[in-house]
Amino acid sequence: MREVHREIGGWLKPLGAPASIDAAGNLRALYPAQAQTAPRLLIGSHLDTVPNAGRYDGILGVVLAIALVESLEQRTLPFAIEIVGFSEEEGVRFRTPFIGSRALVGRLDDSVLSVRDADGISVRQAIEEFGLHPAEIPQARVSENIIGYLEFHIEQGPVLEQLGIPLAAVEAIVGQTRAEFVFTGRANHAGTTPMNLRADAIAGAAEWITAVEHEANTTPGLLATVGSVQTFPGAANVIAGEARLTLDVRFADDEIRAKAAAKLTHQAKHIAQRRGLSVTSILHMNQPAVAMDPFLVRQIELAIQKAGCKLHRMASGAGHDAMILAERVPSAMIFLRTPGGISHNPAESVEVQDVEKAIECGIHLLDQLSGDPAFLMRTQRA
């Protein structure tokens, strides 16, 4: 991450937008407005990614923000542009996503800072070891003069490719539930313990995984995933005494999502009881569905049309920093087509012409917002 900060900082300095790192590890750079007291438009995405990842998830949105500032050729607007590269969106290390963007809305509190990784290192310790000061995290919070947040991102799915169009306006981000389940049985010798006398944690976990899949398959639109399974002691000739699993449930309707998560929790308990196991669960995230700002969505659609592209609105099935920023700031997203619908994978890619269209769309959008009376009124209210 230090290397990424240095590299991006080298791109930003010649544009008159020197980079700095806030106390949550977010890269931030301010391109000034026509007036020193003018409000700010945030444009950005995240710099982190997942293991065995692709090259575009997150980082493309930061690069596009820089490209838009570069395209201004030192021209100033009625609002400043603050570029943000979030430090930790995916939640891989601490199983707690959106650490960077939470800082901007004032939700990076002690409960998050105390979360520990697999080595027992807390978020607070990690920040300190990076050379930053957790006590300064409140200073990372966005000021009252922020008038909007814009995020370019690859779709991470096949919809735009199937439609044959390069861009889409995101109208909402689905809600998410993330939890961890631990099935506990009794480790014992695999060769001497009869099948009817076993308390096999893996067997119980496996039955529950099929229940998760069944629930999603029988609820149209619901997505439910067990993405990680860890077993202990993990030896071929030992019945597992413990199985740790993650659960990810997503849906645009928060009530249906909550009912599904509750049902799956109940099923885990029922399976464990029937098999002579115990099970515990920890809720890591319960993120409601988030609507994007209607005004900005309409402006994005107009900019997409001006770029010569067919219009399409869609909901995002993946979580993004925009869903966190939307708590305090009018937020919107633009999706780029993802060839093959492949993401979180080294085969992740984009089409060069789609990136060109995204930049063209972004330029139109900045010009529209600069001259739009409704947006300028919003600026004055801010």
Please list, in sequence order, all residues whose beta carbon lies within 8 angstroms of the beta carbon of residue 203, skipping any fewer than 6 positions away.
275
- 117-127 pLDDT, tens digit each: 999 999 999 99
Q: Is 2-174+289-381 a domain of CATH 1.10.101.10?
A: no
User: Is pLDDT at 30 greater than 50 in this prediction?
Assistant: yes
Of all residues in the chain, the percent with pLDDT exceeding 70 is 98
C-alpha triplet 44, 142, 376: angle, nearest 5°: 80
State the DSSP code for 188. E
- Global confidence as pTM: 0.81
Residue labelled with tokens 């961890």:
180
Mean pLDDT, residues 172-177: 93
For residues 145 and 217, the model is more confident at 217
Average pLDDT over residues 287-301: 95
pLDDT of residue 373: 72
pLDDT over threshold 70, residue 378? no
* Lowest-confidence pick of 135-149, 216-230, 309-323, 367-381: 367-381
Provide the pLDDT confidence category of residue 381 given band limits of 50, 70 and 90. Answer: very low
Report the distance separating Cα 204 and Cα 274, nearest Å.
9
pLDDT of 76 above 90: yes
Q: Give per-residue burial for 247-284: e unless 16+ CB within 10 Å, then b.
A: bbbbbbebebbbebbeebbebbbebbeebebebebeeb
**Domain range summary for the chain, segments of one domain joined by +:** 2-174+289-381, 175-287
Q: Write out the H or E segment, with its range, that includes residue 147.
A: strand 146-154
Can you tell me which residue has the tokens 């799915």? 157
| pLDDT at position 37 | 86
Maximum pairwise Cα distance, the chain: 79
- Distance of alpha carbon 274 from alpha carbon 267, whole angstroms: 11
352-363: average pLDDT? 98
Check: CB of residue 43 under 8 Å from CB of residue 27: no
Given CATH 3.30.70.360, say whether it is the number of domain 175-287. yes
pLDDT tens digit sequence for 91-132: 999 989 999 999 999 999 999 999 999 999 999 999 999 999
Mean pLDDT score of the chain = 95
